[in-house]
Structure 1
Amino acid sequence: MQLYEKLLAIAEKQCVYVYEKAMSRRNKGLYADQIIWINKNINTHQEKACILSEELGHYFTSSGNILDQSSLTNRKQEYRARTWGYEQLIPLHKFIEAWQQGMEGRHAIADYFEVTEDFLQQTVEHYQRKYGLYVTYQNHLIYFEPLNIIKL
């Protein structure tokens, strides 16, 4: 089962309905009242999975109308939803798993995770903000810049 289908199953279990709908290029996804809309003009399952993860993040972490991003409170909720998606799709143990499978280079790693390279980069940046240049996890050092794993 592909990542996008796994996320659809999570949504279904939460009674969140997901629809693919033609939307403007600017809008890739939207969440409101237990309904998620994904722009059906997005071509890849990887990008749809990344967008769906953020919209599920809104379901799990946000409240109210946060479309006005000039509000600090709304920007915080947007960030919280994105970080939910980052940590759900690429938890730290997945970096170790990819390294153990011999994945090298961001393109190969993104393919392995079934996400876009941009999402992978944003996830790495999130973990770097959270932990610094590296973190010790399950007897491994995970370096975020450059992305590297060392077994302890």
Structure 2
Amino acid sequence: MYPIQKATKEIKLRKGGASFLYLRVAKKYGINCHTLAQRHQGQTQPRRLTQLSLHPQHKTELIQYIKLLTKRRTPPSRTMIRNFALSLAGREVSESWVTRFMNRNSANLILRWQTAMDRNCHKADSEAKYSLALLHLQYGQKGLHDWCTWEIKEGL
């Protein structure tokens, strides 16, 4: 834990109404008293929070929204995730950020449309495939050929 975090924690743990001087607490931990006062009053944030593309609170909101969409059976695409992050962060996020976000939160998210076509959908057996295969099998068993079949026209 950094000294500034220890100092703010000590200030917060003081009993209600107990007076203190920022200067004394700052000297105890070897930090600037103005920085301590600003951090305690919520005027500044740690540098690592300002450098993040998405604040941790926004990240949890984004994860909850993606879970909600997936529950409604409308999982978001990569572009949709990028646009949601843009609206939350207020600035553009890169494609690589979306990839890293999905990899970091893969345990929390079930994203179905990460690629152009879901592999399960691609491998699915279609009913039409089976009916045509069955028809060709019956033609072969009865000795019928394609030239033996004709088309029945309606309306005649």
Q: When the two structures are superposed, what TM-score results if normalisation uses the length of structure 2?
A: 0.27
Q: Which has the higher contact order (CA 8 A, sep 6+)?
A: 1
Structure with greater helix percent:
2
